[in-house]
């Protein structure tokens, strides 16, 4: 009987791990979609979009997945929580300023926003 109990416990652990992986993959998909929103809204590249999303998460003390959920829903809702919107705009401004300084240092011209 002990062997059957061990087997049942192992199956339960594997099921729990599979569920955790599914949740993590779902969060990653939402984060990737949110980065696309930041790229489109801010006219930045993918790397900067990810950095901005991380900065907004840190500055608002909100999990990245929760920030991502708000950003992904934003185009359909046509609103974003005011604090999140302010922090997003400030982070994009800092990112653009940093990009402009880097571009002027290497002699290239900044790309225009889409």
Predicted model pTM: 0.68
Predicted confidence (pLDDT) at residue 43 exceeds the cutoff of 90: yes
Q: Widest CA span of the chain, in angstroms?
A: 74
- At residue 111 the predicted structure's pLDDT band, cuts being 50, 70 and 90, is very low
For the segment 89-105, what is each residue's pLDDT rounded down to a tens digit?
A: 999 999 999 876 666 55
Using a 10 angstrom Cβ sphere, with 0-12 exposed, 13-18 middle and 19 or more buried, the burial of residue 31 is: buried
Phi and psi at residue 43, to the nearest 5°: 65, 40
Average pLDDT estimate for 7-17: 81
pLDDT at 110: 45
Average pLDDT over residues 20-44: 84
């Amino acid at each position: 009987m002990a062997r059957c109990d061990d087997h049942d416990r192992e199956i339960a652990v594997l099921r729990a791990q599979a569920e955790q992986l599914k949740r993590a993959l779902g969060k990653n998909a939402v984060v990737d979609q949110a980065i696309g929103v930041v790229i489109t809204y801010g006219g930045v590249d993918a790397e900067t979009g990810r950095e901005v999303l991380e900065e907004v998460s840190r500055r608002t003390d909100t999990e990245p997945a929760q920030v991502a959920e708000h950003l992904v829903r934003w185009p359909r809702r046509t609103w974003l929580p005011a604090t999140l919107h302010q922090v997003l705009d400030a982070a994009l401004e800092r990112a653009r300023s940093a990009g402009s300084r880097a571009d002027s240092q290497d002699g290239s011209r900044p790309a225009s926003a889409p």
